[in-house]
Structure 1
Amino acid sequence: MARIAGVNIPSNKRVHVALTYIHGIGPAKAVEICGKVGIVESRRVNELTDDEVVRIRETIDQDYLVEGDLRREVAMNIKRLMDLGCYRGLRHRKGLPVRGQRTHTNARTRKGPARPIAGKKKATR
């Protein structure tokens, strides 16, 4: 099992699929990395030599923002919006959807489980 960017990537999968296990690398970037390093995408991780794994690791470290650094940057961007007090920052602070979705119904992922309202009658048929 190869360890790249602090993540153990699965050894029985193809290289471009295994690279997507790293936070910040999707399918397109994985194919791009394979092209830069010169590895055929159909090869599996357990078939890679140590030199190829090192080249992949160096390419990711130089050219891409992944894992902890990416998470930190995203958190800092959200914190900046909250400190500014702009509309998006207020929505983050209140735990509501940020990108214009409706909240009258739905939005349960952001708002959490529905809380019953005292005195509200249940709908009857």
Structure 2
Amino acid sequence: GAQVLAKAKTQEGVDYSWGGGGCNGKSKAVGFDCSGLTQYAVCQASGKTVTIPRTTKYQYGSGTRIAKANMKVGDLIFYATGGDCSCSNGYCAKMYHVAIFAGNNQMYEARKTGTKISTSTLRTAEMCPYVIRYW
């Protein structure tokens, strides 16, 4: 798990870019969106042996679900409109954000347009009851 966070942190200060990033890095040399960063971190931490879906709406629907009370560094934290974290056939329609748990009430994220990849205080509003572990 710590390796997932470490790989994400290699992108510290990179611009948020909607639809950006993936296993091999930034898209068009610009940046990452939230799920592009998590896809990159998991892929790189596993030596490219673990690939995860590209979008937040599918990332929550795969991987191993862990109760958020038991989350560890490197787990992926998800947020859904109204806290509706339901999925159908691996597609989670209300998901809008994913971040990486960094320990000590912190998370690492590509938050939104106009921001840079960085550490933030863990937000609990609309957080899903499970985190996803890919390691």
TM-score normalized with structure 1 length: 0.28
User: Larger Rg: 1 or 2?
Assistant: 1
- Higher relative contact order, structure no. (Cα contacts within 8 Å, ≥ 6 residues apart): 2
TM-score normalized with structure 2 length: 0.27
